[in-house]
């Protein structure tokens, strides 16, 4: 029996690179869709570049998606591509919805036509809950998105559910709470904090400007979350699961741990700047991962403090031109 083949959209991102590593370790043939203009720029895949197959295709191009699926013939498809930086979605709401919702519809339609037996994972987001009616949030918690990104993710979630019910596809949605690591983009607040702590420690900067320090998130490690994605496609039947740690931490806690780790008092360097507040701030987002534990046997392995300190260590290493730490585990 041949080894399984996986197709990953968003393979050049944080989650995509972690997932590619996981699948390669399990003996998969790993293929990834990349935008034609960026096919050669994949720094997170540098160590894997000779072991993965990259196919140029725009997610909004139905014909290109169909051609890619015919070429790859995947057993599993992981849709991780999205415009994931929530504040930026307010500047391009139409592009956010097209790329996050319309593209998912085209991908599922191509899958139904070309590879109807393939298993499909849709990356959802805690932003789908917006301002939640209950805490913690579970699979039955009503969606109340308050950003174009959250709205687009809710639509994509329902599209995946619709294809599952209408056509019998093995399509499932993982409602992923915030997950971070050394590969996180610099535009995200977590990496902004750890990079700043490292830069200030090395004398390269003096202050860090942030928004609401009391905002809380359920933060986990990206490497743990891609393991949950894989497990969701190994079950007897498709289902949706909330993936998170079940513990909320404030931005201030994240800052304190990061600065303590390098021997600095964060009060001396952090400035609250109202321009970094979101137009519609989601509050009290914390997961109830009981179903994932029960159905998948999944639990996070990297704790919050370890997550923060390993990100700081990776930024220190990168800034001092050493080999950056790639994993928290």
Q: Which positions are annotated as active-site residues?
A: 125, 127, 149
Contact 215, 256 (CB under 8 A): no
Q: Is the dihedral of CA 174, 177, 180, 183 positive or negative?
A: positive
Instruction: Give me the torsion for CA of 312, 314, 319, 322, rounded to 10°.
Output: 140
What is the spatial distance between Cα 216 and Cα 251, in angstroms, rounded to a whole number? 6
Q: Give the pair of three-digit tokens for residue 164.
A: 């599952």
Strands (E), 93-229: 119-125, 170-176, 179-180, 208-210, 216-217, 220-221
Three-state SS for 132? coil
What is the spatial distance between Cα 50 and Cα 38, in angstroms, rounded to a whole number? 17
Cβ neighbours of residue 135 closer than 8 Å, sequence gap 6 or more: 284, 286
Instruction: Give me the torsion for CA of 193, 254, 240, 139, rounded to 10°.
Output: -130
């Amino acid at each position: 029996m041949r080894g399984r083949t996986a197709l990953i959209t968003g393979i050049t991102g944080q989650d995509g690179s972690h997932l590619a590593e996981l699948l390669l370790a399990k003996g998969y043939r790993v293929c990834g869709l990349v935008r034609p203009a960026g096919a050669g720029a994949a720094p997170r895949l540098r160590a894997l570049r000779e072991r993965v197959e990259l196919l140029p295709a725009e997610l909004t191009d139905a014909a290109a998606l169909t051609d890619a699926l015919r070429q790859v013939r995947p057993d599993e498809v992981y849709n991780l591509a999205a415009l994931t930086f929530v504040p930026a979605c307010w500047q391009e709401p139409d592009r956010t919805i097209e790329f996050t919702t319309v593209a998912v519809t085209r991908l599922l339609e191509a899958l139904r036509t070309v590879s109807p037996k393939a298993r499909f994972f849709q990356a959802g987001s805690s932003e789908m809950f917006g301002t939640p009616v209950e805490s913690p949030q579970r699979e039955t918690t009503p969606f109340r998105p308050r950003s174009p990104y959250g709205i687009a993710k809710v639509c994509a979630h329902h599209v995946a559910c619709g294809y599952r019910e209408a056509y019998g596809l093995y399509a499932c949605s993982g409602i992923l709470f915030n997950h971070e690591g050394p590969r996180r983009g610099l535009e995200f607040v977590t990496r902004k904090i750890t990079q700043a702590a490292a830069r200030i420690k090395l004398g390269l900067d003096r202050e860090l400007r942030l928004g609401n320090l009391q905002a809380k998130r359920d933060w986990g490690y990206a490497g743990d979350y891609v393991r949950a994605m894989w497990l969701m496609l190994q079950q007897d039947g498709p289902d949706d699961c909330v993936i998170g740690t079940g513990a909320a931490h404030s931005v201030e806690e994240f800052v304190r741990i990061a600065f303590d780790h390098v021997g600095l008092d964060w009060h001396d360097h952090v400035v609250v700047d109202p321009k970094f507040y979101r137009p519609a701030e989601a509050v009290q987002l914390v997961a109830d991962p009981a179903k994932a534990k029960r159905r998948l046997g999944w639990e996070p392995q990297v704790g919050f403090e370890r997550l923060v300190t390993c990100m700081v260590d990776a930024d220190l290493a990168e800034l001092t031109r050493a080999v950056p730490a790639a994993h928290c585990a």
